[in-house]
Amino acid sequence: MPGRKIRVTSCSSLHIIGTSLSNPAAKSMKVSATTNTKRHHHHHHHSSKTNKTAAARAAAMVNHDTENLSPIFSSKSKSSDSTDNVGVGDSKISHEAIEQDVTNLTNLNNLPSTNAFEALQISSDRLRTIIAALHCNILIRKADLVRNLDYVANVLDAVHEDETRIKQQHIPVAPIRRRLMEEDDGALSEIEPDSVPNEVRDWLTMTFTRSMSTLKRRPSDKPKFKSVAQAIRAGIMVDSCSRYLRRLSIDIKFKTINEWTFDVFSVNEFTNGQCLRYVGFELMQRYNLPNKLHISITTLQNFLEQMESGYSRYRNPYHNLVHAADVLQTTYQIIYNSGLMVENWLTDLELFAIFVAAIVHDFEHTGTSNNFHIQSRSDVALIYNDRAVLENHHVSAAFRLMRQDEYNILSEFTSDEYKNFRHLVIEMVLATDMSCHFAQLKTMRSLISMQENIEKAKSLALILHCADISHPGKPWDIHHTWTQSLMEEFFKQGEKEKELGLPCSPLCDRDNTLVAESQIGFIQYIVEPSFIVVGDMLEKVLKSLVAADSEVLSPSIPNRSMTSSPSPSAVSSTELNLQHDEQNGLERRLPSSMTTPIPRSTIVRRPWAEYLKLNRERWVQEAEEERRRKQLNVIEEEP
């Protein structure tokens, strides 16, 4: 994601949040929180006490782990009043108290609405509790962490929206805001022109300075901020913290991107329906592909946004941007899970090609099948002569898009790089045509049985094809959601076919299709055999890589026969000793640890196997219910 400050990995929550809080944005969060405490201190005495406790715990932790603390704990804000320093002298704060606060994080039912006045202080308290728990190595459930951060982000969003709404609608300034307007006009000079957007400056000038105010001033009113400069900084903090916490919540969701059980629906909800651009950018940045392949970040962002636009063109229930993101992550996970990422099986160009192929594989899908286009004699069927109609369109439309400068992610490729990239993408996307399914499996089974290595393009094509039909091998909730979406898309096609007077395609009759039976057949005859073959293929690739490595000496001992004559400074001491012994007719034996390669597993984990079994059993039960309901309907219809 552009501008992200953190990356969530499989490490502990302490590492994740601790790293993120070392950023300047995190330091701003501290200033914002303490300022907020002062701002409402005289309104909420009880909340202030809670805040003091949290501050005391944070202060105690400064003495406990000063060297490793992020800047947010290294010093107190100068704007904090004396009450914020309560408990600094206390060197020991019981973990039980913090654990109790962490327990309270699970309760979000009675929290005020995000636009309520009290929500600001509660958000501050909860953030302090999270920070204290992380620095004390107290476990916070991921679900509680995400929900609380999401609540805080929504509160900050509400504050920001309120400020923006007041500017846009010119709402009369309430008394609580009137005091902010009593600042000296010259205070704006403290802010550098480039540090604040003009829109923010105009808003503050209109709202907080005397030149725009028509209200009668009362010298006795004490302003909330010491200067308009602080008002600007506070406004920017609200917006920055909101975006920061939103990114943090999204990154926590991305913690599972390496896992088979990755929930793309949850990520799509968290990213406001933009999961394809987030997943695509995350994976490409994870392997530094934009930098390695000289791809402009702006151009990549434009490309991914346009991909989402194309996937949303027909508003398909199934073949949409969420499906594209799911296939992309599943394609990556199959390769990652096999260990081939570690083995460097793919070049940067090949990895980029498979990511792009997954992203574009259903670009501008019409929500109807190839057979529908052929039977209805659509324009796209005429263009591609009834052969892989949609698949040809997907890849062709994507490459046509990349001819435009603002979307051309291939602009820095050499002629050979472009040729290889295009060949791989076309091969992979055309292989997603289901009419080629059985021929593809037959060919791959034959290649697996041979001694020769499998052509990489065919291997990648099968991986993408399996990812495209993988949802029956996912947890039931994910699989069932996809099934409902797919069946709805089928039924809509059936309705179009009836309108055109065409025969209704299989599984497209809303009134007569047996969904459970169809899924049992889909798993048994299509998905399960495909994943058996792809698993066997991956294991053969792994074995070939391990066998090739076993023929080479350990990296700690250069193989003289495979290198050019090195200069003396480049020759290792080990090799010099070998040369000396050989010159004296001595045979030198090396430790087995230096000559024997570390054994590596060539067995590929197959997480889909168990889910395929469980989901098939679940559909068998559903099929029994379907038959029972159908029998009851027949009995009711009989006279």
Q: Position 148: which residue type?
A: N
The single-letter DSSP state of residue 226 is S
pLDDT (tens digit, 9 = 90+) per residue, 329-385?
A: 999 999 999 999 888 899 999 999 999 999 999 999 999 999 999 999 999 999 999
Give the separation between CA 264 and CA 327, rounded to whole angstroms.
10
Phi and psi, residue 183, nearest 5°: -90, 160
pLDDT at 245: 56
pLDDT at 308: 98
pLDDT at 583: 44
Q: Which segments of 170-227 does DSSP mark as H helices, in order?
A: 175-178, 198-208
Half-sphere exposure at residue 592, Cβ-oriented, CA atoms within 13 angstroms: 2
pLDDT (tens digit, 9 = 90+) per residue, 140-161?
A: 888 888 888 888 888 888 887 7
| Residue 519 assigned to a binding site | yes
Question: Is residue 55 over pLDDT 50?
Answer: no
Give 247's contacts (C-beta < 8 A, 6+ positions apart). 1, 4, 5, 6
| Residue 362 assigned to a binding site | yes
Give the separation between CA 225 and CA 229, rounded to whole angstroms.
9
| Band of pLDDT at residue 166, cut at 50, 70 and 90 | low
Q: In the chain, helix, strand, coil percent, each to 5?
A: 65, 0, 35
pLDDT (tens digit, 9 = 90+) per residue, 227-261?
A: 555 555 555 555 565 565 556 556 656 778 999 99
Give the separation between CA 390 and CA 368, rounded to whole angstroms.
9
| Residue 511 assigned to a binding site | no
What does the domain layout of the chain look like in residue ranges? 95-167, 256-548
Give the separation between CA 177 and CA 209, rounded to whole angstroms.
12
pLDDT (tens digit, 9 = 90+) per residue, 492-527?
A: 999 999 999 999 999 999 999 999 999 999 999 999
Nearest Cα to Cα of residue 364 among 427, 319, 428, 304: 319
Give the separation between CA 548 and CA 564, rounded to whole angstroms.
21
Question: Is residue 591 over pLDDT 90?
Answer: no
| Band of pLDDT at residue 476, cut at 50, 70 and 90 | very high
The single-letter DSSP state of residue 523 is I
pLDDT at 148: 87
For the question of residue 40 being annotated catalytic, the response is no
Torsion of CA 520, 524, 525, 530, to 10 degrees: 130
Least confident of 30-44, 100-114, 142-156, 405-419: 30-44
Level-2 CATH architecture, domain 256-548: Orthogonal Bundle (1.10)
Q: Position 512: which residue type?
A: N
Give the separation between CA 534 and CA 608, rounded to whole angstroms.
11
Give 621's contacts (C-beta < 8 A, 6+ positions apart). none
- pTM, entire model: 0.61
pLDDT at 535: 97
| Band of pLDDT at residue 549, cut at 50, 70 and 90 | confident
Question: Is residue 448 over pLDDT 50?
Answer: yes
pLDDT at 160: 78
Least confident of 187-196, 229-238, 318-327, 535-544: 187-196
Least confident of 104-108, 405-409, 474-478, 535-539: 104-108
| Residue 322 assigned to a binding site | yes
Where do we find the tokens 């039977």? Answer: 375
| Residue 65 assigned to a binding site | no
What's the chain's average pLDDT? 75
Question: Is residue 404 over pLDDT 60?
Answer: yes
Going from the C-alpha of 133 to that of each of 8, 36, 97, 148, 291, the distances in angstroms are 18, 21, 10, 14, 37
Phi and psi, residue 27, nearest 5°: -65, -35
Torsion of CA 549, 555, 560, 561, to 10 degrees: 10
Question: Is residue 122 over pLDDT 60?
Answer: yes
Residues in the chain, overall count: 639
pLDDT (tens digit, 9 = 90+) per residue, 266-322?
A: 999 989 999 999 999 999 999 999 999 999 999 999 999 999 999 999 999 999 999
| Residue 361 assigned to a binding site | yes
Tally of CB atoms within 10 A around 397: 15
Q: What is the mean pLDDT of residues 111-131?
A: 85
| Residue 321 assigned to a binding site | yes
Which one is catalytic: 42, 45, 160, 319? 319
The single-letter DSSP state of residue 209 is B
Give the separation between CA 114 and CA 248, rounded to whole angstroms.
19
Question: Is residue 414 over pLDDT 70?
Answer: yes
Question: Is residue 27 over pLDDT 70?
Answer: no
- pLDDT exceeding 90 applies to what percent of the chain? 48
Cα-Cα-Cα-Cα dihedral sign, residues 534, 539, 540, 542: positive
pLDDT at 146: 85
